[in-house]
Amino acid sequence: MADVAVIGAQWGDEGKGKIVDWLSARADVVVRFQGGHNAGHTLVVDGEVYKLSLLPSGVVRQDRLGVIGPGVVVDPFALLDEIDRLRQQGLEITPDNLAIAENATLILSVHQELDAMREASHSGVKIGTTKRGIGPAYEDRAGRRALRVVDLAYPDTLGEKVEHLLAHHNALRRGHGVAEIDGASLIARLKEVAPKIAPFAKPAWRLLNDARRAGKRILFEGAQGVLLDVDHGTYPFVTSSNTVAGQAASGSGLGPGAVDYVLAIVKAYTTRVGKGPFPTELDDALGQKLGERGHEFGTVTGRKRRCGWFDAALVKQSCRIAGVSGIALTKLDVLDGFDRLNVCVGYDINGTKYDYLPSAREAQAAARPIYETMDGWSGSTENARSWADLPAEAVKYARRIEELIETPISLVSTSPERDDVILMRDPFQG
């Protein structure tokens, strides 16, 4: 059986949570391999809504092991809050069904404050971050001054590690005219939270390698989307980690051969949160209609998402970059009742036609979509569980997307409910 990596092929918010939850019924282990609690996954199970940020989506199935890999940056306080919230909804999160990589980087309050200071600054590029401290934590990891989960187990040496970290951060804070961080207070908070996090800390690489050797199925869960990848996305309006499928290996502790099938989640239209280029954006009544019908508000921030037509050129680009095997087409039901649907097949950039989005910010800002128009449908696709349940025009729309992105459809999701899925090909079958 194949091990599967699930990623987003757009700017995130494609509906990965539901698909990962659906696939986790066929998996033994679900592992998050990048990002932090800036991710937002909403699951609807028997009418109960679960909102996840840092925990792997598989935790809603109590007999699955969830793993937070070393490629993830972990806010220990946010993690404990999320665990408590799910416990109030009847889910038990214990060291028996959740493991945190001991070498994962910690997000601290100093990171969140730096994130907010930069966004509020009158200089530099406004990225539109979630102000969760994700970027600054990754910066400290690259600068080799970060604290990691395992450091919480050594309180006697915590002081010198915090001192090393604050030598950098307090210099930045002085530059912003902000009071320096009190190291003693930070150390006290970390010592307080340490006993609550310690039981979950494990050598994730060993757990995952043992699981693979035992023949267990592993599901790798990505956050955000390819277009937000720090190398391959619409830079600088991106996240601070690699979101492509290749990160599943290094972000978990398994070799690249561990991923047998890459499933990209693709929304039937396009959305984006925050700033940055968006060639097919609809800043009109149609865009508002998409947002209202799709309930397009961020799970983490509550921010209204920007909405627009499906961009086949960008999704094809994402599928090539990430080595996608097949896609899960989500939120098809949101398009019910539209008379006509536009699909972007390329761009006009200052009079030159492109079938991909160039890397230059100037070119991305100037990109004007080239559309192909298709008939919409008046019937309902909601709750459909087979192609026969779909209006003919909806089938044509899905099949045309397959052709344009040159990648087959494996699944179609037709509502937020767990079982409203049309299965074309089981990713775990390879």
User: Which residues are marked as active site?
Assistant: 13, 41
- CA–CA–CA angle 310, 265, 309 (5° rounding): 10
Give 174's contacts (C-beta < 8 A, 6+ positions apart). Answer: 180
The strand pairing partners of 129, in sequence order, are none
Pull the structure tokens for residue 133.
């401290």
Eight-state DSSP code of residue 179:
P
> In what side-by-side order are the strands of the sheet with 261-267?
201-202, 98-101, 65-68, 29-32, 218-221, 4-8, 261-267, 326-330, 409-413, 421-423
Distance between CA 135 and CA 125 in Å, rounded?
14
Within 13 A of 194's CA, how many CA atoms are on the CB side? 17
State the Cα–Cα distance between residues 165 and 145, nearest whole angstrom.
5
3-class secondary structure, 401: helix
Any idea what DSSP says for residue 222?
-
